Structure 1
Amino acid sequence: MTRVNPIESAEAREGRRNRAIVIGAGLGGLAAAMRLGAKGYRVTVIDKLDVPGGRGSAIWQDGHRFDLGPTIVTVPQLYRELWRACARDFDADVTLKALDPFYEIRWPDGTRFVAQQDTEKLRAEVAQLAPGDLAGFDRFLKDSAKRYWFGFEDLGRRSMHQLWELIKVLPTFARLRADRSVYAHAARRVKDEKLRMALSFHPLFIGGDPLHVTSMYILVAYLEKEFGVHYAVGGLAAMARAMGNVIEDQGGTLLMDTEVDEIVVRNDAVTGVRLASGLEMGADIVVSNADSGHTYNSLLRAHRRRRWTPKRLARTRYSMSLFVWYFGTRDTVGYWQDVGHHTILNGPRYTGLLKDIFVKGKLCDDMSLYVHRPSVTDPTVAPEGDDTFYVLSPVPHLGHENGVDWAAEEPRYKAKMLRVLEEQLLPGVGERISTEVIFTPETFRDRYLSPHGAGFSIEPRILQSAWFRPHNVSEEVKGLYLVGAGTHPGAGVPGVISTAEVLSKLVPDAEVVT
């Protein structure tokens, strides 16, 4: 990827296309750059990391590839539409493998639930876990479908920056009981606590508390069943590289290892950005894929804001953070044969643990874990005969009053995590670990410039969604747009990709400037 300033040669031309700068090469920023390139803009994407992908990037160490963030692809038609808008074929650039079953959920008492696409097999899982809840489960799936078509295909694919757009849909929100939480909705449909967990935990994948996130997000159950769960060969990092290739083929540039310090504003309109090096780069529009809190508090610090003031952002509820342990194991192919690509290990508590993480900001001794073992699907992630793992535990973000000293806590928390893994899923794994990387909330703060080290930006509660969320077109500065998890529809990779689609409907086609 290019690591030089691309602007001088472009400005030297007598006639040039409108210039766009995209801050951040996360999946939202890359998708935005592709959309802008298709509209005729000369696009420069700037990112402080050395590889594209943001949270969807990877680290290569000792022959292992550690996928740092998202591990699955859902709603694959979104990506095909994105590539098609750029006159490209997604399937020629990216290989997807369908995963079925999707994942297995395990409880400490040995109970298991296998999520899968086939409806009758899935109903059989429910009947085995909670036979009295089968009718309620069927109703839950119908509820999920209604919310998908309204919340994702309708609201999620258009801008919600005008208050009138919110007012128009309030009756539908009321009818679908968007005020009810995901967990509360599951509890109204089924009685078994384990099944309630299996139907309500999905907001954790997008940084939300199932006890408070709007029930609109039960749409994930339909989304998974209808379109499947897929793995991108090479990980999301391979998809990010493919996106970067499209941008460069369009005439755009990826400027890596480069940090934007400030968005430059003159007469209430963006004129470009200033880099940490002091170099100023001009642009006709600026798109920020940085966290919306970082965008307004840091990148626009010299500009007076009317809505997204420091005081308002201080009241914003952010997602939880994450403790992620990436490790490789040696000579373990054939070990742990009942452990698939995705496993969720529940701790002894569910609602109590959620309250500790999201409300009390308390780091607990017990934990629930998400275990990713991509080497069972993609052997290129590890040396021959070895395995690659990533184990994630939701933890409080750094903004709580009783903050955690992660420098002291990291080895203790890893030891607790290892004990859970060995007791419940991977006996003897500690003796097989050959290499490792650990991310704490402080890593998320420093690597991704995420406020409070939040793993997923602003939490998608009902009063932090749609019109209430930072808008795709900024009301603070003319020519500034936002994409990514912190804007609408945000939260989750499909939502992040959709922010770029919304952006393309707001930004006019490029003109030739002479």
Structure 2
Amino acid sequence: MTRVDPIDSADARDGRRHRAIVIGAGLGGLAAAMRLGAKGYRVTVIDKLDVPGGRGSALWQEGHRFDLGPTIVTVPQLYRALWSACGRNFDDDVTLKALDPFYEIRWPDGTRFVAQQDTDKLRAEVAKLSPSDLAGFDRFLNDSAKRYWFGFEDLGRRSMHQLWELIKVLPTFARLRADRSVYAHAASRVKNEKLRMALSFHPLFIGGDPLHVTSMYILVAYLEKEFGVHYAMGGLAGMARAMGNVIEDQGGSLLMETQVDEIVVRDGAVTGVRLGSGIEMGADIVVSNADSGHTYNTLLRNHKKRRWTPKKLARTRYSMSLFVWYFGTKGTAHQWPDVGHHTILNGPRYTGLLRDIFIKGKLCDDMSLYVHRPSVTDPSVAPEGDDTFYVLSPVPHLGHDNGVDWADEEPRYKAKMLAMLEEQLLPGLGDKISTEVVFTPETFRDRYLSPLGAGFSIEPRILQSAWFRPHNISEEVDGLYLVGAGTHPGAGVPGVISTAEVLSTLIPDAEVVE
């Protein structure tokens, strides 16, 4: 990606297109920059990392590509619409490969549940666990469809910064029992505890506690079944590079390895940003893809806030954090043939473990794991004959009173993770590992500037969603906008991409300034 020279405010308005600065080259920031470029803005994206993608970036080590964050693409029409808005064809730039089955869930007693798109095959999986729950499962899928069309296609595609927009939909929220949690809704439809887990764990992919996140998020079940689950060849990092190419083709630039220290405000409106070097860059509008807590507490630290004060943000409930172990294995491409692209390994507890992670902030000896083996789909992630894995365990964020010293805990926790993997999924793994990287909650705090080291920004509880979530258009400063997981609709890659679509409805087309 190219580097650009700073431009002062006068130059930004002297015979040039209106300028926009996007803070953060995560997927939300890149999508926002593409949308703004399509509207005629000259866009500069600034990010502290050396590659675009944010949490969706990658590391390369000893021939292995480690995709650091999101691993799947759902609702592919969102991306095609984004590219189309820029006059481009998504499928010319990114190759999607459908994954079916989507993933396999395993329990310690050997029980398995294979999530897949075909309804008859999926119902057969339900019947293996609990034949008496088939009717309830059918009802759950119907419930999921209703919430998708309301929660995603309606609320998720428009701004919710006006209170009236919330008031208008309160009757629908009540009718759809948005006050009920995802787990409670699953429990109201099926009796089998394993099936309840299989139908309710999805909020963990967006940082939410299934015991407390609003049941609107059961929409994920419909979203997966209706549109499929896909893998972007080259990973999300490859998609991020493709997004960066579109931005540059529009005349925009990506300024990498550069950190924004402050959003500059004069007379109540943004005039640009100040970099860590002290250099000031001017802009007509600023879009922050940084975590909303970091945006308001740090980047706007010298500006008095009316709503998103430090006190209010201190009361905000953030998502859990993550312990992620990335590793490559030597000569295992044909080993473990029953282990596919995605596997979820359950520990002995489900609801108890969730309470320990989200409420008590307690790091436990037992764990549940998400295992990503992209090399079965995309050989480019590893040297020939080898494998690339990432294994993720939800853990408490750094804000709990009984905090963990991760420098001390990391080797112990990794050893427990290895023991579970060898026992339940990958026998002999320890002797095959050739290279590795570990991310702890402290990595999320330092690499992504995420408050409390949270993995997914603000938790999507009902009173932290829609109007209650930080708005896409800031009420604190004129000319400031927010995108990404910490704003509306946020939560999950489709939500993050949708924040840029909402943004495009709030910002007028640019005009050439003479």
Superposition TM-score, scaled by structure 1 size:
0.99
Matched ranges for 1:255-274 at <5 A = 255-274=255-274
> Would you say 1:421 and 2:421 are equivalent positions?
yes
Q: Distance in 2 between matches of 1:146 and 1:389?
A: 36
Q: Match for residue 331 of structure 1?
A: 331
Q: Distance in 2 between matches of 1:171 and 1:4?
A: 50
Q: Helix, strand or coil for the counterpart of 1:264?
A: strand
Letter in 1 for 2:264: V
Q: Match for residue 503 of structure 1?
A: 503
Q: Match for residue 359 of structure 2?
A: 359
Following superposition, the deviation at residue 2 of structure 1 comes to 1.8
User: Aligned residue pairs: how many?
Assistant: 514
Q: Distance in 1 between matches of 2:362 and 2:274?
A: 39
1:197-228 CA deviation, whole Å, 9 max, x = no partner? 00000000000000000000000000000000
Q: Distance in 1 between matches of 2:484 and 2:234?
A: 22
Q: Match for residue 409 of structure 1?
A: 409
Q: Helix, strand or coil for the counterpart of 2:36?
A: helix
Q: Distance in 2 between matches of 1:147 and 1:323?
A: 31
Following superposition, the deviation at residue 345 of structure 1 comes to 0.1
**Large movers: runs of 4+ above 2 Å:** 6-14
Matched ranges for 1:1-40 at <5 A = 1-5=1-5, 7=7, 11=11, 14-40=14-40
Following superposition, the deviation at residue 253 of structure 1 comes to 0.3
> Would you say 1:459 and 2:459 are equivalent positions?
yes
Q: Helix, strand or coil for the counterpart of 2:415?
A: helix
Q: Distance in 2 between matches of 1:4 and 1:40?
A: 18
Q: Distance in 2 between matches of 1:232 and 1:253?
A: 24
Letter in 2 for 1:358: F
Q: Distance in 2 between matches of 1:130 and 1:223?
A: 24
Unaligned runs of 5+ in 1: none
Following superposition, the deviation at residue 256 of structure 1 comes to 0.1
Q: Match for residue 254 of structure 2?
A: 254
Q: Match for residue 50 of structure 1?
A: 50
Q: Helix, strand or coil for the counterpart of 2:397?
A: coil
| Percentage identity across paired residues of the two chains | 89
Q: Match for residue 137 of structure 2?
A: 137
Q: Helix, strand or coil for the counterpart of 2:412?
A: helix
Q: Match for residue 89 of structure 1?
A: 89
Q: Distance in 2 between matches of 1:127 and 1:301?
A: 55
Q: Distance in 1 between matches of 2:474 and 2:10?
A: 27
Matched ranges for 1:296-445 at <5 A = 296-445=296-445
Q: Distance in 1 between matches of 2:37 and 2:437?
A: 36
Q: Distance in 2 between matches of 1:413 and 1:14?
A: 57
Q: Distance in 2 between matches of 1:501 and 1:337?
A: 41
Q: Match for residue 202 of structure 1?
A: 202
Following superposition, the deviation at residue 3 of structure 1 comes to 2.6
Following superposition, the deviation at residue 15 of structure 1 comes to 1.2
Letter in 2 for 1:382: A
Q: Distance in 2 between matches of 1:331 and 1:204?
A: 32
Letter in 2 for 1:221: A
Given that 1:22 and 1:44 are in contact with CA atoms closer than 8 Å, whether structure 2 keeps it comes out as yes
Q: Helix, strand or coil for the counterpart of 1:17?
A: coil
Following superposition, the deviation at residue 6 of structure 1 comes to 5.1
Q: Distance in 2 between matches of 1:95 and 1:4?
A: 30
Letter in 1 for 2:217: Y
Given that 1:10 and 1:16 are in contact with CA atoms closer than 8 Å, whether structure 2 keeps it comes out as no
Taking structure 1 as reference, are residues 481 and 13 closer, same or farther at Cα in structure 2, changes over 3 Å only? closer
Q: Distance in 2 between matches of 1:266 and 1:130?
A: 63
Q: Distance in 2 between matches of 1:410 and 1:329?
A: 20
Given that 1:6 and 1:253 are in contact with CA atoms closer than 8 Å, whether structure 2 keeps it comes out as no
Following superposition, the deviation at residue 180 of structure 1 comes to 0.1
Q: Distance in 2 between matches of 1:211 and 1:205?
A: 14
Given that 1:373 and 1:389 are in contact with CA atoms closer than 8 Å, whether structure 2 keeps it comes out as yes
Letter in 2 for 1:331: G
Q: Match for residue 114 of structure 1?
A: 114
Given that 1:287 and 1:480 are in contact with CA atoms closer than 8 Å, whether structure 2 keeps it comes out as yes
Q: Distance in 2 between matches of 1:424 and 1:12?
A: 59
Q: Helix, strand or coil for the counterpart of 2:180?
A: coil
Taking structure 1 as reference, are residues 14 and 464 closer, same or farther at Cα in structure 2, changes over 3 Å only? closer
Given that 1:444 and 1:455 are in contact with CA atoms closer than 8 Å, whether structure 2 keeps it comes out as yes
Following superposition, the deviation at residue 4 of structure 1 comes to 3.4
Q: Distance in 1 between matches of 2:258 and 2:246?
A: 20
Q: Match for residue 474 of structure 2?
A: 474
Q: Distance in 1 between matches of 2:326 and 2:288?
A: 29
Q: Distance in 2 between matches of 1:13 and 1:189?
A: 59
Unaligned runs of 5+ in 2: none
1:5-27 CA deviation, whole Å, 9 max, x = no partner? 25369928841111000000000
Q: Distance in 1 between matches of 2:291 and 2:391?
A: 24
Q: Distance in 1 between matches of 2:315 and 2:109?
A: 40
